[in-house]
C-alpha cells in the first residue's frame, strides 16, 4: 500500500491506474478504523479494481473544538488495517494543503437542516466541502459510505447529483458490535458501563421495528417506545428521536411512505447515532437495521 499526503502524487497514481483500465474505488474516512470502515472497502472491491482510502480528521465539520481535538487518532494501526483490507493507495492530506486561504464551501440545503444538521450547525457544510475536495483530488468512479450516517450518505448522493460529479455513491449496511451497538470510532470513548447502557439504542430500534411491522403507523407511539428504552438506561442526553421521510428528511406525523427512524443520544460525553430504514411493502412496512 502506497501512503502519501501529496495531492499531486495521488493524482498521478490514480491516473496511471486508470490508464491500465482500472476502475477506482474510494472510501473517505477520518481514521481510527474499525470493521465498519473495512466493510466499506470490501464493498468497494466489488465495484472497482483499485482501492483508495483517505484519512483526514476534517476540522471544519466539527462544531465543537474539543470534539475535534478528542477525536481518536492512530495512523500506524490504521495503515496496517487498511493494507490488510486490500487498500492500494492511502491519502493522508495535510490540513494546510486542504484549507490554506480557503474561501469556498459546499452546502446541500434543506436536507442539512434536520436531524444531526439541527443540533450540529455547519457539520454537513464541512462534510460536503471536504468530500467535494477529496472527490476532485481522487476522481474515483465509485465511493462507499456507511448507512450508520444515513443523513450524510443521502446528502452526499444529492450533492453528487446536483453538482454532476461522475461518481457512483454506494451506501453500505451498518456493522454492529456484539449486542447491536453500531460501530463508530467514537465508541472508543465509552466506559464499560456507558457501552452497556448505550445498547438501549439498538434495543429501542428493535422494539420500534416490532411495533411498525405489526401495523402501528403512529409516529408518536413509535418514537415513545424508543425514548422509554433509552431513558431507562440513563443517557446524559437524548439529542433526537425522529421519524422522517426518506426523500426529504422532513419529520412525518403518520407513517405512510419510505422513512427513516433516526436516533442521536449521549452516553457520558459520547454522542452516538443509529437509524433504521422503513420500507413500504405489500400490506405494510418492513424495517432494516
| Residues designated catalytic | 37
**Minimum CB separation from ligand PAF for residue 156, in Å?**
7
For residue 228, the tally of other CB atoms under 10 A from its CB is 12
Instruction: Name which of 109, 111, 189, 116 is nearest 148 in CA terms.
Output: 116
- Residue 29 near ligand PAF by CB under 6 A: yes
| Region 44-83 residues binding ligand PAF, contact defined as CB under 6 A | 58, 61
- Residue 30 near ligand PAF by CB under 6 A: yes
| Part in contact with ligand PAF (CB under 6 A); list of ranges 13-21, 26-34, 176-184, 223-231 | 26-34
User: According to CB under 6 A, which one of 141, 149, 194, 274 is a site residue for ligand PAF?
Assistant: 149
Map grid coordinates 465509552 to a residue.
Answer: 190
CB closer to ligand PAF, 51 vs 152: 152
Instruction: Name which of 206, 181, 172, 160 is nearest 265 in CA terms.
Output: 181
- Residue 130 near ligand PAF by CB under 6 A: yes
Task: Give the whole-angstrom CA distance, residue 10 versus residue 4.
Answer: 7
How far, rounded to the nearest angstrom, does the alpha carbon of residue 243 sit from its chain's CA centroid? 18
* DSSP-derived secondary structure letter, 176: B
Residue 220, CA atoms < 13 Å, CB-side half-sphere:
0
CB closer to ligand PAF, 44 vs 152: 152
At 142, which helix (H) or strand (E)?
A: strand 142-146
| Part in contact with ligand PAF (CB under 6 A); list of ranges 27-35, 77-85, 201-209, 265-273 | 27-35
Return the biggest CA–CA distance within the chain: 57
DSSP reduced 3-state for 55: strand
CB closer to ligand PAF, 37 vs 202: 37
What character string, x for contact with ligand PAF (CB under 6 A) and - otherwise, covers 79-118?
----------------------------------------
**Residues near ligand PAF (CB under 6 A):** 28-30, 58, 61, 127, 130-131, 149, 152
Amino acid at each position: 500500500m502506497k501512503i502519501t499526503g501529496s495531492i499531486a502524487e495521488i493524482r498521478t497514481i490514480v491516473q496511471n491506474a486508470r490508464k491500465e483500465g482500472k476502475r477506482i474505488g474510494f472510501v473517505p474516512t477520518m481514521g481510527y478504523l474499525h470493521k465498519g470502515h473495512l466493510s466499506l472497502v470490501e464493498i468497494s472491491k466489488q465495484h472497482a479494481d483499485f482501492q483508495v482510502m483517505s484519512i483526514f480528521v476534517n476540522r471544519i465539520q466539527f462544531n465543537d473544538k474539543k470534539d475535534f481535538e478528542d477525536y481518536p487518532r492512530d495512523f500506524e494501526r490504521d495503515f496496517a488495517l487498511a493494507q490488510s483490507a486490500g487498500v492500494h493507495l492511502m491519502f493522508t492530506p495535510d490540513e494546510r494543503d486542504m484549507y490554506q486561504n480557503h474561501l469556498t464551501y459546499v452546502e446541500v440545503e434543506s436536507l442539512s437542516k434536520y436531524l444531526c444538521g439541527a443540533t450540529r450547525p455547519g457539520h454537513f457544510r464541512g462534510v460536503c466541502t471536504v468530500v467535494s475536495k477529496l472527490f476532485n483530488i481522487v476522481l474515483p468512479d465509485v465511493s462507499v459510505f456507511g448507512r450508520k450516517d444515513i443523513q450524510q450518505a443521502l446528502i452526499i448522493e444529492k450533492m453528487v447529483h446536483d453538482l454532476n460529479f461522475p461518481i457512483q455513491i454506494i451506501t453500505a449496511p451498518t456493522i454492529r458490535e456484539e449486542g447491536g451497538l453500531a460501530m463508530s470510532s467514537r465508541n472508543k470513548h465509552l466506559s464499560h458501563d456507558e457501552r452497556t447502557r448505550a445498547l438501549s439504542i439498538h434495543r429501542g430500534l428493535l422494539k420500534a421495528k416490532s411495533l411498525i411491522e405489526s401495523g402501528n403507523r403512529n409516529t408518536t407511539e413509535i418514537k415513545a417506545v424508543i425514548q422509554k428504552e433509552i431513558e431507562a438506561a440513563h443517557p446524559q442526553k437524548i439529542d433526537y428521536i425522529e421519524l422522517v421521510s426518506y426523500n426529504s428528511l422532513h419529520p412525518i406525523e403518520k407513517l405512510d411512505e419510505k422513512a427513516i427512524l433516526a436516533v442521536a443520544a449521549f452516553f457520558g460525553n459520547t454522542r452516538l447515532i443509529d437509524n433504521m430504514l422503513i420500507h413500504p411493502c405489500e400490506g405494510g412496512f418492513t424495517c432494516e437495521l
